[in-house]
Amino acid sequence: MSTDTLSTLFRRDLLRLRREIELYRREEILWRTTGAIANSAGNLCLHLLGNLNTYIGRELGHTGYVRNRELEFSQRGVPRPELLLGIDATLQVVTTTLASLPPAALQQEYPVLVLEHPTSTEFLLTHLTTHLTYHLGQINYHRRLLDV
């Protein structure tokens, strides 16, 4: 897989994330949980931004990003425009970082241990695309279920 392919997938799904957040008719529903739905769409959005800014921005792009994973799941009421700006900024970090990676970097070991065993950068980036789409699907379902 090439960095161009990965960049295309991240761009596509971050733009889909942006659209999902925009589609909420009532902004307060972004933060609602109910029954077995333990994570709000707003918190899942914050989690995705933290995840990508950490594993792509900080580790590969050397952005200096400092993650507060606990806050990603506990913070409430971030205004929708702020979430949208965060998505836009994350998209910029991801595309800039991937564009700067030489093709050989994909075959190198990812610089930190994220999963159970060391992986190549390509494997970790592929994992991040599936993580993004997994939570994107949850956000879509959350919106259709609760924003009625």
Give me the pLDDT at residue 148, please.
85
**Contact of 20 with 133, CB cutoff 8 Å:** no
- In the chain the beta strands, taken as DSSP E runs, fall at none
How sure is the predictor about 147, in pLDDT bands with cuts at 50, 70 and 90?
A: confident
Q: Over the stretch 12-44, which tens digit does the pLDDT of each residue have?
A: 999 999 999 999 999 999 999 998 889 999 999
Give me the pLDDT at residue 115, please.
95
Round to whole Å and give the CA distance between 48 and 11.
13
Q: Could you tell me the residue range of the domain that residue 63 belongs to? A: 3-146
Domain tally, the chain: 1
CATH of the domain at 134: 1.20.120.450
Average pLDDT of 109-131?
97
Give me the pLDDT at residue 14, please.
98
Average pLDDT of 123-140?
98
114: tokens are 């994220």
Give me the pLDDT at residue 30, please.
98
37: tokens are 């739905």
The model carries a pTM of 0.96
Round to whole Å and give the CA distance between 86 and 81.
9
